[in-house]
Amino acid sequence: MPWSIFNRPSIQLGCLKAFLEKEMRCQVDTFHPYLNIAEAVGIDAYRRISSNSWAGEALFSPLLFPPQQDKARELFSSVLSKKEQSHLHFDNLVDLIEKTCSDWINVIELNQYDLIGFSICFNQLLPSLYMAKQVKMIAEEVPIVFGGSSCTGRIGRSLLHHFPEIDYIVDGEGEKSLLSICRSLKESPQKPGRQENPAKSHESIIRTDEIVDINELPYPDYRPYFNEIAQIFSKVPIIPTLPLEFSRGCWWNKCSFCNLNLQWKKYRMKNAGRMVQETAHLVQQYKCINFTFTDNTLPLKETDDYFKIISRQQIDLNYFAEIRAIHQPERLKLYRRGGLSTVQVGIESLSNSLLQKMAKGTTVIDNIATMKLCAENGILVEGNLITEFPTTTNEEIEETLTNLEFVLPYHPLTPAAFFLGHESPIHKNYGKFGINAILVHYKTKKLFPQRYHKSLKHLVNSYRGDRTLQHRRWKPVYQKIAQWQSFHKMRKNKEKPALQYRDGGTFLIIRQEYPTGLPLQHRLKGLSRRIYIFCHTPKTMNDILINFKGLKEESLVTFITELCRKRLMFQENDRVLSLAVHHTT
């Protein structure tokens, strides 16, 4: 269902179709109604709506709960900027979506199926609930299953309790649970698990073992998506980006704000050989060369092996991936050679004590090194700075503001206000983070009638604590990030890094751009040059003294302090990093 990114097939549907057909020798049809909606509202409008987590849900709220129309419209306008809203008329869009859904459902022979399922991830809940209701009106006897990350744990149970259209909830990984439902339905004419009141039935919530070795899974089957896209967008050439799954879960799995791994019990990954074969299959089958890894964070060792093989092939592949901070230049160089062009790095903060509260397992210098080394290797960094984190102190704000001056030359981050993820470590220990009470989110209240509020509070949590204080405290950070973004937007020669050096063999020249005035030039000669190059990756003061025999500690401290003052180096305790990107032109 909408609001999936329209130029990508659903990996969930692709994997489940391939798995069920292999295991049961049954026929699985998959559909991507988000394509029909994208065609109806227009690609540009669809993009704008789907990039906001609330706007799309708001459009389906009045279809499911007509009295919510005014509140949903209000929410829709409040979450989109004026520019984003231009040409998006809420009531017209609601009507258009209703008609498109109705046209779509009326051409499908729903009663031919033994089971109909919805895979629900971000921003797909209300659209799926609405469509499930429409399906039940036409195919009353066909059981409906909901699964996906938005149906995990208590959220799934509350959905089952409130919405009689749902017969089963898959809680956790889909493959084996869906298989067990299909087998039960095949074997038992009574369709076990379907009860008069499903809210009372534990059999309606299915959670089976996970696949132990995900290398054994078949390749995802994206053929139905390609057939649909060819029909719906016959006049607009669209080359989709294909999702690629290396691992399930997260090998770190400790961040205090994170609830992205609730649906997995164990961390598992495919091996590099299997991934290379899967990629080759997808390239050949679908004639696509753009990929996006679905992993929460790539597995390091296997990714190294994967890109070693991929970089030797004569194919111009292109990838997006989410990674944790990586500050090994060789590794990033290899990934870039293999085709990794854009990464979302879990930067999250430029304050060390905040990073500790977040349990990121990284420090500010690691984050800055990753930003610099990605820039040096031509990898675009898309990252967030979590703002308004509960318990943030004035000192942490000061530290963030200071460190923002050191990252000015790199691609700007985006501020993302803290939200309380259901069942995240912070949610489970909220008292430790100055949170007094968990509340229903005010945006959820606009989407759902009151009778749902209490039990659907798990959907998106709000809280009572130091929110107002934090909102005020973080204002200078928002301003500084806006200046950072504007600096990069206004720069003329974007091919050149804003802070770069060129090496003259016995000296080097650093060119440093600022938001105003002409670029500054700095020349470092002899030992200064060599120390600067040595600190290409974070080094301790001791590392430097050992490497440069005879160098006096006092002189080194003076040198480092001076270069930090000029924002040419960064120091964190006894670790230092050169900030200029090596650029040869």
**528 binding ligand SF4? (CB under 6 A):** no
- Which residue, 221 or 245, is less far from ligand SF4 as judged by CB? 245
Minimal distance, residue 223 CB to ligand SF4, in Å? 30
We find the least distance from the C-beta atom of residue 49 to ligand SF4, in angstroms, to be 26
Binding residues for ligand SF4 restricted to 80-119, rule: CB under 6 A: none
Pick the closer one to ligand SF4 by CB: 18 or 345: 345
**Nearer of residues 88 and 258 to ligand SF4, judged by Cβ:** 258
Nearer to ligand SF4 among residue 99 and residue 432 (C-beta): 432
* Contact range with ligand SF4 by CB under 6 A, out of 94-102, 182-190, 249-257, 502-510: 249-257
- Under the binding rule (CB under 6 A), the answer on residue 182 touching ligand SF4 is no
Torsion sign (Cα): 22, 23, 26, 32: negative
Choose the stretch contacting ligand SF4; rule: CB under 6 A; options: 177-185, 253-261, 306-314, 469-477.
Answer: 253-261
Shortest distance, position 295 Cβ to ligand SF4, whole Å = 9
Q: Tell me whether residue 134 or residue 152 sits nearer to ligand SF4 (CB atom).
A: 152
Segment near ligand SF4 (CB under 6 A); pick from 30-38, 113-121, 250-258, 475-483: 250-258
Kindly tell me which of 250 and 459 has the beta carbon lying closer to ligand SF4.
250
Q: Which is nearer to ligand SF4, 250 or 408 (CB)?
A: 250
Specify the residue for token string 């929110």. 467
CA distance 73 to 47: 19
Concatenating the DSSP letter of every residue in 356-412 gives HHTT-S--HHHHHHHHHHHHHTT-EEEEEEEES-TT--HHHHHHHHHHHHHSTTSPP
Choose the binding region for ligand SF4 from 36-44, 54-62, 237-245, 247-255 (rule: CB under 6 A): 247-255
Cβ 229 to ligand SF4 shortest distance, Å: 30
Phi, psi of 16 (to 5 degrees): -65, -40
Rank residues 317 and 347 by Cβ distance to ligand SF4 and give the closer one. 347
**Candidate segments 11-19, 203-211, 248-256, 519-527, binder of ligand SF4 by CB under 6 A:** 248-256
Phi and psi of 121, rounded to 5°? -120, -145
Residues 6+ apart with CB under 8 A from 229: 32, 35, 238, 240
Do 361 and 254 meet the contact criterion of CB atoms below 8 Å apart? yes
Out of 64, 258, 375, 577, which residue is the one contacting ligand SF4 (CB under 6 A)? 258
- Considering only residues 252, 478, 514, 548, which one is a binding residue for ligand SF4 as defined by CB under 6 A? 252
Least distance from C-beta 294 to ligand SF4, angstroms? 12
Q: Is 262 a residue that touches ligand SF4 (CB under 6 A)?
A: no
Cα distances (Å, whole numbers) of residue 349 to 43, 345, 362, 418, 563:
34, 11, 10, 11, 23
Q: CB of 210 within 8 A of CB of 177?
A: no
- Shortest distance, CB of residue 133 to ligand SF4, whole angstroms? 33
Q: Does 250 bind ligand SF4 (CB under 6 A)?
A: yes
Q: Which long-range contacts (CB under 8 A, 24 or more apart) does 190-195 make?
A: 191/143, 193/167, 193/168, 194/143, 194/167, 194/168
The packing angle between helices 125-138 and 55-64, to 10°, is 30
DSSP, collapsed to helix, strand or coil, labels residue 7 as: coil
Instruction: Give all strands of the β-sheet with 168-170 in edge-to-edge order.
Output: 116-119, 144-147, 168-170, 205-206
For ligand SF4, the binding residue among 260, 289, 527, 564 (CB under 6 A) is: 260
> ω into residue 252 within 30 of 0, thus cis?
no
Residue with smaller CB distance to ligand SF4, 120 or 250: 250
Residue placing its CB nearer to ligand SF4 in the complex, 156 or 299 = 299
Nearer of residues 301 and 523 to ligand SF4, judged by Cβ: 301
**Nearer Cβ to ligand SF4 (35/345):** 345
377 closest CA partner among 408, 333, 343 = 333
- Total site size for ligand SF4, rule CB under 6 A: 11
The verdict on 310 binding ligand SF4 (CB under 6 A) reads: no
Smaller CB separation from ligand SF4, 233 or 252: 252
User: Nearest Cα to 563, choosing from 576, 574, 546, 575?
Assistant: 576
Residue among 52, 180, 215, 253 that touches ligand SF4 (CB under 6 A): 253
* Residue 302 tokens, joined: 């296997």
Closest CA to 440 of 418, 424, 420, 463: 463
DSSP assignment of 255-283, as one string?
Answer: -TT--TTTT-SS-EE--HHHHHHHHHHHH
Alpha helices, DSSP H only, in 409-525? Answer: 425-428, 442-447, 450-453, 467-473, 475-490
Q: Residue from 2, 346, 425, 538 that binds ligand SF4 (CB under 6 A)?
A: 346
Helix, strand, or coil (residue 205): strand
Site residues for ligand SF4, 285-304, by CB under 6 A, read 296-297
Rule CB under 6 A: say whether 349 interacts with ligand SF4: no
Q: What token pair was written down for 431?
A: 């008292």
Which residue in the set 16, 75, 255, 447 belongs to the binding site for ligand SF4 (CB under 6 A)?
255
* Residues 527 and 548 sit within 8 Å (Cβ to Cβ): yes
C-alpha to C-alpha distance for 202 and 198, rounded to whole angstroms: 8
The answer to whether 120 and 90 have CB atoms below 8 angstroms apart is no
Per CB under 6 A, the segment of 109-117, 200-208, 251-259, 262-270 that binds ligand SF4 is 251-259
Reduce the DSSP state of residue 523 to 3 states and report it. strand
Q: Which stretch binds ligand SF4 (CB under 6 A): 92-100, 252-260, 268-276, 443-451?
A: 252-260
**Closer by beta carbon to ligand SF4, 258 or else 456:** 258
Sole binder of ligand SF4 in the list 32, 207, 324, 529 (CB under 6 A): 324
Question: According to the binding rule CB under 6 A, does residue 326 interact with ligand SF4?
Answer: no
Beta strands in 55-126, from DSSP E residues, in sequence order: 116-119
Cβ pair 24, 182 in contact under 8 A: yes
User: Footprint of ligand SF4 on this chain (CB under 6 A)?
Assistant: 250, 252-255, 258, 260, 296-297, 324, 346
